[in-house]
Amino acid sequence: MTTIAFIGLGNMGNPMAANLVKAGHQVHGFDLMPENLTVAREHGVTVMANALAAVKDADVVITMLPAGKHVLSVYEDIAPKAKKGALFIDSSTIDVESARKAHAISAKHGLLSIDAPVSGGTGGAAAGTLTFMAGGSGDAFAAAEPTLKPMAGRIVHCGGDGAGQAAKICNNMILGISMIGVAEAFVLAEKLGLSHQALFDVASTSSGQCWSLTTYCPVPGPVPTSPANRDYNPGFAAALMLKDLRLSQEAAQSAGAVTPLGAEAAQLYALFNAQGHGGTDFSGIINFLRGNPA
């Protein structure tokens, strides 16, 4: 049994913490929102009065927070008070630069650290099947693996500090671009009088095949479990897709990478969000492309 501090018990953090409790760990949780603490308590998390109290006796500290500024401010507070040699795991999706700063804060206080963002959404968090993309030293990764296992379907060591965040935003840039591509193809097919099913049957077994088509098909029918069949209820909300596309564009700018389709995808999701669809599944972009937002 390990004592784990879990800070950030929102849509993702709460089910992740619940899986750690189920695996037999002592989980000390903290969140700013009292309603999230109530849920955590129901899952067997020991709710603490603040982040410092949660961290005090913890061997491992996991953060699952909205953005880089939250992670850095929490790290500045808790790293000086953490147990000597504790392991810090940040699973939030944040910019690569902040992730590297978080590693530096940890190192300054003699702590092991990895950035370990996830893919798989709230469903994967509840089922314990998240993919973790980890960045950090080999020692930190080896120390983190047993803690990540009860929450994970797959754990990949992507490289040094910040490599997990880099993998996450590159993957989600592919996802945003590919969803727009698939949605555009269905919109064109409609204009050409081609049925959704016919396009799906051909493209899903041809060179147009991709996850956005075969798992998350943006029209109802061909893939019964895709959000299009439930009025585009997320799933993966358009606001989170926009967040990740913006992170990829910031990273592209600071690294000097040319990503014109990533930039265009960010622009389209910004317009979709601005029309009030931040809570719509990101595959709902098809309705925006038809000129008939969901």
What positions carry a catalytic annotation? 168
Q: Minimum CB separation from ligand NAD for residue 219, in Å? A: 22
Stretch near ligand NAD under the rule CB under 6 A, chosen from 78-86, 108-116, 117-125, 133-141: 117-125
Q: Minimum CB separation from ligand NAD for residue 193, in Å? A: 36
Q: Taking CB under 6 A as the rule, does residue 156 contact ligand NAD?
A: no
- Report whether 178 contacts 212 (CB < 8 A): yes
- Report whether 166 contacts 158 (CB < 8 A): yes
Residue 47, CA distances (Å) to 1, 143, 224 in order: 18, 25, 39
Q: Taking CB under 6 A as the rule, does residue 274 contact ligand NAD?
A: no
Nearest-Å Rg of the Cα atoms of the chain is: 20
Torsion 74-126-48-140 (CA) sign: negative
- Report whether 206 contacts 199 (CB < 8 A): no
- 27-66 residues in contact with ligand NAD (CB under 6 A) are 30-33, 36, 51, 64-66
Q: Minimum CB separation from ligand NAD for residue 52, in Å? A: 11
Helices vs strands, H then E, count in the chain: 13, 9
Write out the DSSP string of 235-249. SSBHHHHHHHHHHHH
Q: Taking CB under 6 A as the rule, does residue 118 contact ligand NAD?
A: yes
Q: Taking CB under 6 A as the rule, does residue 293 contact ligand NAD?
A: no
Q: Taking CB under 6 A as the rule, does residue 181 contact ligand NAD?
A: no
Q: Taking CB under 6 A as the rule, does residue 10 contact ligand NAD?
A: yes
Task: Quote the CA–CA distance of 186 and 202 in Å, as a whole number.
Answer: 12
Q: Taking CB under 6 A as the rule, does residue 13 contact ligand NAD?
A: yes
Task: Quote the CA–CA distance of 265 and 275 in Å, as a whole number.
Answer: 16
Q: Minimum CB separation from ligand NAD for residue 135, in Å? A: 15
Site size toward ligand NAD (CB under 6 A) is 26
Where along the sequence are the contacts to ligand NAD (CB under 6 A)?
7-13, 30-33, 36, 51, 64-66, 70, 74, 92-93, 118, 121-122, 236, 240, 243
